[in-house]
C-alpha cells in the first residue's frame, strides 16, 4: 500500500479481523491513530504502529486510554480523519471523551472488540458491551452510530463506512465486534481507496490564515445548551430514518426468525441452512447497524415468532422486544463468559420454540 496508487488494492490477502480494520481505516484516508493495546484488540494497535508511519501518517501509543481519546478529540477538531480502538475495559475509560466528541459534534471512529466481563473478566469473546456502546456509556444526551461486522471483510468495509458516516453526521461512530471476529484469519479483498478529502469547513486550522472557527461542548446558558441538545436529537432522528441497515436471510416465508449479530449471526446462518434442509421454515435477520436499530425491518417480518440469540445477559433482546411492542413472542438464548453458542445449540433452541417448550422472554 502507498499514498499514490491503487495498484494491487483489489488483491485478496489473509488478515485477522483486527488487521482488516486498520487496512480499512487507511483506505478511508485515516490520518491518525491514537490507542493503547488490549487483548483481544491488540492487533489493531500493532498493525497501525506498523502501517501508519510507513504511509506518512500519525501513530501514537498513548500512555492510557483516557489520553488516547483526548488525542482523538484534538486531531478531529483540526479536521483529520482519526481512529482509536480498544476492548470493554478501555472503552469504559474513554467514555467521557466520547461524550465530549458527541457534544462538540466531532467525527471519530472507535473500534470495540468485545471481551468477557464484568470487571477484569477474561479475553474470550462476548457481546456484553452492547448497552455501554449503543445506549451511550458516557454522560449527557447523546448517541453514537454503531456498525456491526461479522467477518474480516466487513471489518475492513465497515471501518471505511464508519469514516463516511462520522463525517456526514459529525458524530462518533463505533465499529462493534467481538473477540472471535477480531481474531479470525480470513481472506479479505481490499476495496478501492477513498479519494483524498479536503479539510472540512468547520475544522480548526492553526496556520497564519486560520479560520475563525470555534468548537466546544460547554454551554453555560441553560437555553443555549437546551438548543444544542434539541439539535443533536434532530440529528439522531435523521440518522434513525436514513441509516438502518440489516441483512435478511430466508425471512420471507419464515415461521421463526432468529435475530443475531456479530459472530453469532454466522453460526445462526449455518443453523438456518441445516433446518431449511430439514423442512423447518426458519430465517435470520442480522442487524448491520445497532444504532440505528433496524426497527423497520424487524416490524415488517411476517414470522409469528422471533428468537434473539446473544453472547450477553440479554441486552439486544430488550431492543427487539421494544421494537415489536408485544406484537409477537420473542424468545431468547444466550451464552456468556467467553462461550459461543454452537450450531447444534441454536438448532435445539429452535426445535424447542416450535414444540412450544420455550417461554417467551
Average pLDDT of the segment spanning 154-160: 98
Assess contact for 55 and 81: CB atoms under 8 A: no
Res 317 pLDDT > 50: yes
Assess contact for 148 and 260: CB atoms under 8 A: no
Domain boundary residue, one of 242, 263, 298: 242
CA angle at residue 292 from 287 to 295, to 5 degrees? Answer: 65
Res 16 pLDDT > 90: yes
Same domain, 197 and 256: no
The string of pLDDT tens digits covering residues 170-184 is 999 999 999 999 999
Same domain, 298 and 328: yes
Same domain, 235 and 258: no
Does the residue 335 lie in any domain?
yes
Q: Look up residue 356 and give its three cell numbers.
A: 412450544
The string of pLDDT tens digits covering residues 266-307 is 999 999 999 999 999 999 999 999 999 999 999 999 999 999
Average pLDDT of the segment spanning 227-234: 98
For residue 264, CA distances in Å to 2, 83, 175 come to 35, 26, 16
Q: Whole-angstrom Cα distance, residue 320 to residue 315? A: 9
**What is the pLDDT, as a whole number, of residue 211?**
74
- Give the helix, strand, coil percentages of the chain, each rounded to 5: 40, 20, 40
Sort residue 170 into left (φ over 0), alpha (ψ -120 to 50) or beta: left
What is the total residue count of the chain?
361
Same domain, 153 and 236: yes
**What is the pLDDT, as a whole number, of residue 11?**
83
Same domain, 227 and 297: no
Same domain, 223 and 265: no
Same domain, 235 and 260: no
For residue 201, CA distances in Å to 80, 204, 212 come to 12, 9, 10
Res 314 pLDDT > 60: yes
Please spell the DSSP secondary structure of 228-285, one letter per residue: HHHHHHHHHHHHHHH---EEEES-SS-SEEEE--HHHHHHHHHHHHHHHHTT--EEEE
Same domain, 41 and 113: yes
Same domain, 226 and 269: no
pTM of structure: 0.95
pLDDT category at 4 given cuts 50, 70, 90 is very low
Backbone dihedral angles phi then psi of residue 75, each to the nearest 5 degrees: -65, -40
**What is the pLDDT, as a whole number, of residue 136?**
78
Domain range enclosing 310: 247-354
Provide the number of structural domains found in the chain: 2
pLDDT category at 141 given cuts 50, 70, 90 is very high
| CA dihedral for 333, 338, 340, 341, sign (positive or negative) | negative
The string of pLDDT tens digits covering residues 26-64 is 999 999 999 999 999 999 999 999 999 999 999 999 999
Sequence-distant (6+) residues with CB within 8 A of 348 are none
Which is nearest to 270 in space by CA: 347, 354, 349? 347
Average pLDDT of the segment spanning 137-141: 93
Whole-number mean pLDDT of the chain? 95
Amino acid at each position: 500500500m502507498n499514498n499514490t496508487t491503487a495498484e494491487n488494492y483489489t488483491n485478496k490477502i489473509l488478515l485477522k479481523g483486527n488487521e482488516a480494520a486498520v487496512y480499512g481505516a487507511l483506505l478511508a484516508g485515516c490520518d491518525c491513530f491514537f490507542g493503547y493495546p488490549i487483548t483481544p484488540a491488540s492487533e489493531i494497535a500493532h498493525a497501525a504502529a506498523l502501517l501508519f508511519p510507513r504511509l506518512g501518517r500519525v501513530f501514537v501509543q498513548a500512555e492510557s486510554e483516557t489520553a488516547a481519546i483526548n488525542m482523538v478529540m484534538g486531531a478531529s477538531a483540526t479536521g483529520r480523519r482519526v481512529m482509536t480502538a480498544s476492548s470493554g475495559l478501555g472503552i469504559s475509560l474513554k467514555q467521557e471523551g466520547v461524550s465530549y466528541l458527541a457534544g462538540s459534534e466531532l467525527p471519530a471512529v472507535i473500534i470495540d472488540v468485545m471481551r468477557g466481563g464484568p470487571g477484569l473478566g477474561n479475553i474470550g469473546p462476548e457481546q456484553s458491551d452492547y448497552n455501554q456502546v449503543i445506549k451511550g456509556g458516557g454522560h449527557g444526551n447523546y448517541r453514537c452510530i454503531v456498525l456491526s461486522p461479522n467477518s474480516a471483510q466487513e471489518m475492513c468495509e465497515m471501518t471505511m463506512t464508519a469514516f463516511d458516516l462520522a463525517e456526514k453526521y459529525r458524530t462518533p461512530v463505533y465499529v462493534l465486534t467481538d473477540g472471535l471476529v477480531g481474531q479470525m484469519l480470513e481472506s479479505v479483498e481490499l476495496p478501492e481507496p477513498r479519494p483524498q478529502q479536503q479539510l472540512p469547513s468547520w475544522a480548526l486550522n492553526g496556520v497564519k490564515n486560520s479560520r475563525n472557527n470555534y468548537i466546544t461542548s460547554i454551554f453555560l446558558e441553560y437555553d443555549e445548551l437546551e438548543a444544542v441538545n434539541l439539535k443533536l436529537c434532530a440529528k439522531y432522528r435523521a440518522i434513525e430514518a436514513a441509516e438502518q441497515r440489516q441483512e435478511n436471510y430466508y425471512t420471507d416465508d419464515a415461521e421463526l426468525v432468529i435475530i443475531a449479530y456479530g459472530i453469532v449471526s454466522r453460526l445462526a446462518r449455518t443453523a438456518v441452512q441445516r433446518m431449511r434442509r430439514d423442512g423447518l421454515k426458519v430465517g435470520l435477520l442480522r442487524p448491520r447497524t445497532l444504532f440505528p436499530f433496524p426497527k423497520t425491518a424487524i416490524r415488517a417480518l411476517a414470522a409469528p415468532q422471533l428468537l434473539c440469540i446473544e453472547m450477553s445477559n440479554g441486552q439486544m433482546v430488550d431492543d427487539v422486544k421494544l421494537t415489536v411492542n408485544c406484537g409477537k413472542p420473542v424468545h431468547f438464548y444466550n451464552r456468556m463468559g467467553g462461550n459461543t453458542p454452537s450450531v447444534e445449540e441454536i438448532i435445539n433452541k429452535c426445535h424447542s420454540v416450535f414444540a412450544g417448550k420455550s417461554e417467551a422472554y
